[in-house]
Amino acid sequence: MIKKGIRRQIVLHYFIVVFTALLLVEVIFLLAIRSYYYDSVYSHIYGYVKNAEDYYQKFRLFEEENINILSDMLANFRMTSTELQILDIKGKVLINTTEFNPDTNITTSDIPQAISGNMGRWVGRQPSTNEDVMAVSKLIQINGEDKFILRYTTSLTTVNDKLFNVTLLSLGIGMSVLGLVLAFSLGLANSIVKPLNNITAVSAQMAKGKYKVRVKGDYKYELGELASTLNHMAEEIVRSNQVKDDFISSISHELRTPLTSIKGWGETLSSGGFDPEETKVGMQIISKETERLIGLVEEILDFSKLQHNEMKLVVGEVILKELLQEIMLNMWTKAEKKYIKLVLESDDNPVVIGDGNRLKQIFLNLVDNAIKFSEENSVIKIVLTCYPGQVEVDVQDNGLGISEEHLNRVRDRFFQVSPLNGGTGLGLAISQQLVEQHQGTMEILSELGEGTIVRVMLPLVEDCGSTDENTVPDE
Ligand code: ADP
């Protein structure tokens, strides 16, 4: 017995469908073959009866009804291996070829059919011999008057034997087909259930946290897809776990540095004995490091808000050029430390509908990255260009660049090419989501060792109306 499950369902479905179809075909086939055999017997007798009738009509052999005439008739019209009876029109046997019980009355359904002028036909069991027979009866008229009924009775034993053999054969074929179907459906069910069991076992292991296990085996079609999706999922979990681990270690580092500095200065200042100038420097460092810490925590909070769709934009008109100028001022000192020159190129003055603070956050992060990953004495350009219906802001640097391998991962949360550079790996992920919240797009074009362009496209309600006829850049 197959235990409950897909295997049993498949086998049962196939079995029921094929069994029903076979049963139907066999019944129709056997009925057709039975009717064919019986019809052949009937046609054979029918031909004989018709001949007898024609013969009689032509020669009008029997003008008078007496036993001699009946005997002649019996002799003339008899048919081999068939009993011929001549009956009166009430169905009483007058004479028959077997000399058996001539006086009996025949009451089978072929007699009333014959009396009504049709060819009578009856199939049933002959009580005297207890065998299956077919009787064919025909009324004979003399001078328009109903006179006799010719009744031929033939045994159906041979035909029934043949039918029995055909039935046995077709049942045998049916059973073999059913057996084949069972074997085939079991094979098919196994080919689905075995991989499924394997995949279930592997996913149970994964559910316990063992993400190194993989579904092995070259499965086809949907099962193959399921197996590779599960394997891919495990790889992604391992990867994101790795990214999270990296994040935790880099964020711990990021937090420890300012905290150590704050703690150090706090302890130093509390021991007393410093002049006001030294105390001022200490306090400034504590304040700067605290600000850094707040920045870090805010970045993490922002990301969490964006993840849960809780970030609400305070939308208004933003003059983009002014916003970018402000960013240049904010980042000036940081750039100065690396002797980096910040340049803003813009002939237009577009007005964007958006959240000024969030837009500022985007570009601050992009310029901060550009400074962080650029060599000393380099130039960072912020280029603002207007197109019909949208504005493009490129933040271009000639710094480290990003390899092709890492390019499509830098926007993943917590991803950093090297955790040693500081930061959280959340900047680009946050920028990307904020740009999307402004119905814009963010594209990163970079080549390792050559530099990077981060291109932000934002929609414009009104065109800039600049003198330059810019066309939309190629996708
Ligand atoms: P973070 O700067 O805090 O590490 P980001 O999400 O802003 O996080 O950036 C992710 C990573 O992408 C960075 O760690 C860096 O490896 C790479 N990256 C971002 N901007 C640049 C750039 N302008 N030049 C080179 N690499 C960059």
pLDDT in tens, 430-474: 999 999 999 999 999 999 999 999 999 999 988 775 444 455 555
419 lines ligand 1 (CB under 6 A): no
Q: Is the C-alpha dihedral spanning 174, 180, 186, 188 positive or negative? A: negative
pLDDT the model gives residue 64:
53
pLDDT the model gives residue 99:
61
Distance CA 37, CA 43 (A): 10
Q: How far is the CA of 325 from the centre of ligand 1 (A)?
A: 22
| Cα pseudo-dihedral 188, 189, 190, 194, rounded to 10 | 120
DSSP element (H, E) containing 244: helix 221-270
Nearest alpha-carbon partner for 213 in 225, 224, 198 = 198
Nearest CA to ligand 1 atom 14: 416
The minimum-distance atom of ligand 1 relative to the CA of 426 is 6
Q: pLDDT tens, 389-446? A: 999 999 999 999 999 999 989 998 778 888 777 777 889 999 999 999 999 999 999 9
Q: How far is the CA of 242 from the centre of ligand 1 (A)?
A: 17
The minimum-distance atom of ligand 1 relative to the CA of 428 is 6
The minimum-distance atom of ligand 1 relative to the CA of 401 is 25
User: Residue 399 gets which letter from DSSP?
Assistant: S
410 lines ligand 1 (CB under 6 A): yes
Q: pLDDT tens, 343-400? A: 999 988 899 999 999 999 999 999 999 999 999 999 999 999 999 999 999 999 999 9
Nearest alpha-carbon partner for 423 in 249, 260, 240, 242 = 249
Per-position b or e across 18-56, b if 16+ CB within 10 A of its CB: beeebeeeeeeeeeeeeeebbeebbeebbebbeebbeeb
Distance CA 428, CA 454 (A): 10
pLDDT the model gives residue 67:
59
370 lines ligand 1 (CB under 6 A): yes
Q: Is the predicted pLDDT of residue 215 greater than 50, yes or no?
A: yes
Structure tokens at 249: 């270690």
Q: Is the C-alpha dihedral spanning 90, 95, 98, 104 positive or negative? A: positive
Structure tokens at 76: 């003339």
Q: How far is the CA of 171 from the centre of ligand 1 (A)?
A: 77
Nearest CA to ligand 1 atom 7: 427
Residue 257: pLDDT band with limits 50, 70, 90: confident
Residue 139 CB-density burial (10 A; 0-12 exposed, 13-18 middle, 19+ buried)? buried
pLDDT the model gives residue 468:
46
How much is the pTM? 0.56
Q: pLDDT tens, 278-308? A: 899 999 999 989 988 998 898 888 888 887 8
Task: Give the percent of the chain with pLDDT over 70.
Answer: 94
Structure tokens at 52: 């007898």
CA atoms within 13 A on the CB side of 228: 7
Contact 293/259 with Cβ under 8 angstroms? yes
428 lines ligand 1 (CB under 6 A): yes
What is the largest distance, in Å, between two alpha-carbon atoms of the chain? Answer: 163
Distance CA 162, CA 314 (A): 94
Q: Which residues pair with 445 in a beta bridge?
A: 453
Q: Is the predicted pLDDT of residue 181 greater than 60, yes or no?
A: yes
* Residue of 52 and 109 predicted with greater confidence: 109
